[in-house]
Structure formats: structure tokens, C-alpha cells
Amino acid sequence: MKSIKNILLVSVFGGLAYTGFSQTCANNKKLCGKEELGEYFDYRGQSSFGRLAPGDTSRVKVVLYSKNDVRIMVCSDPTLGEVQFRILKTIREYNRVVDRIEKTTVDEPIYKTDKEGNPIPVLDDWGEPKKDDVGQVQYEIVDYKQVTKVDTVWKTDRKIREDVLFDSRKGKKVYEEEIKKTESVLIEVVAPPSTDPQMKTYEGCVAVMVGRMFHYADYKKFGK
């Protein structure tokens, strides 16, 4: 058994698909056996209970905090069949991409140059180069030519993807891990579809059990 430290989990209902969870199965913890629940894990106030019909999918959002042990499982009415679940982490990606290319045509001056090819400045009454309002030297212009300028306009492309941290279909039915970094995850529960006509109106109880383990037995004690 891992060393025991404090854990805090906050579980709230996330976006629900199809029928979703209700409160009709609240506190129905008998769906899970003692071996599944494990020792020293506290499931009070962190778990979700509800009813699902065959083929339904529901999601629950959970925030896991660092330096804590967590144990997550899904238990259900056997009549529903083998209910599967995944733990998903939402990743937001921001990439700089081209929005559009803008082309503009402007008149560009052609300056008079000396023998060495340097532009010749316009001189004032004292023989000094004239300057414009912003302090730039003015040069003698002999003509203008049209020039097309291309400007690239950028934008931020935002994408959201979901990484699978755990999938019960791969064999393991219980997720147990020491959380090293605080993160928000989604628990997605899927009830298997059924072709039995008698199951069309059936709804079975499903429990999403989120357990926490305190790492310090005396975490509630105050220091002097």
C-alpha cells in the first residue's frame, strides 16, 4: 500500500449525453463489492449515482488534486450488462495560423540619385537637407511606380482534443493512481446497447465511485 497523504476531490456533474444521471439511485453503494472499493478510500461526497438505459452515455467532471491517491470505478445493475467507462483529459491547443493574405497596390517614389547611386536630398535655403514632420530627410523625386505589397494576417487557431487516460475496455476495471499534478478530468460512462425488446424502457442504477485516500492520518490536527 502506498504511503498515506491527504487528498481532496471535487466531483460535479459535467455535460450529459442522452438521458444522463438522475438522483434516483443516490447512496446505492451496494452496487460495488468491498474488494472493488478497496481499503482506506473515502467515497463520501465524491461519487455520483443515477440511472441509465441500454445504449446511454453520460459524463461526470472531476477535479483531482496533486499528491493524493485516487481510486475510480463504475459499478452498475447487472441487468444493464457490462457498463464501460473512460477517464478523459481535455487538452486545449493554440496555434498561430494564416487567416488571409492581403494585397495592396501603392505608388512608390523613384528618387533622383548621384553618380554613386545615392538618393539626392532636397536642400533648404541654407544648403542643409530638408526634413519632414517626423524628422526624416526628404529626397528629390523624379517619378512614381506602382508596387504591389503583400501582408499576411494571422489568427489564433483553438482546438480541443481529449486524451484517454484510462479505458476499462482494455482489461482493468479500476483506476488507481497517485496524482502528481492537479487536473480536471471527465469520466465517461457507456451502457451497452440491447436488442431485447423488454429492455427498451428499462433503466438500471449506475454508480461512479470516486475514492480518496488521506496520506496523513493526523491531517485534521492543527499545529501550534
Per-residue pLDDT tens digits of the chain, which is 224 residues long: 333 333 333 333 333 333 334 344 654 557 887 778 888 888 876 788 889 999 999 999 998 877 788 999 999 988 999 999 999 999 999 999 999 999 999 999 999 999 899 999 999 888 899 998 888 999 999 999 999 999 999 999 999 999 999 999 998 999 999 888 888 999 999 999 988 888 888 999 999 999 888 665 444 444 54
User: Are 76 and 206 in contact, with CB atoms under 8 Å apart?
Assistant: yes
- CA–CA distance, 12 with 24 (Å, rounded to integer): 17
How many Å separate Cα 133 from the centre of its chain?
Answer: 52
Backbone angles phi, psi at 8, to 5 degrees: -135, 125
Q: Of the candidates 215, 221, 199, which has an alpha carbon nearest to the alpha carbon of residue 56?
A: 199
Q: How many CB atoms lie within 10 A of CB 63?
A: 13
> What are the grid coordinates assigned to 147, written together?
508596387
Q: With beta carbons less than 8 A apart as the criterion, state whether 199 and 191 touch.
A: no
Return left, alpha or beta for 25; rule: phi > 0 is left, psi -120 to 50 is alpha, else beta.
Answer: alpha
Rounded CA gap, 84 and 75, in Å?
9
Q: For CA atoms 156, 161, 19, 198, give the dihedral sign.
A: positive
CB atoms within 10 A of CB 221: 7
List the chain domain ranges.
9-92+162-213, 96-154
Write down the pLDDT at residue 28. 54
Residue 164, helix vs strand vs coil: strand
Amino acid 215: pLDDT: 65
CATH T-level assignment (fold) for domain 9-92+162-213: Jelly Rolls (2.60.120)
* Cβ-Cβ contacts under 8 Å for 85 (sequence gap 6 or more): 73, 74, 168, 187, 188, 189, 190, 208
Residue 211: count of CB within 10 angstroms of its CB: 23
Please give the grid coordinates belonging to residue 82. 457490462
Per the CB < 8 A criterion, the answer to whether 208 and 70 are in contact is no
pLDDT score at 22: 38
- Does the pTM of the predicted model rise above 0.75? no
Alpha helix (H) residue ranges in the chain: 34-37
The letter for the amino acid at 141 is I
Strands 204-213 and 174-179: unpaired
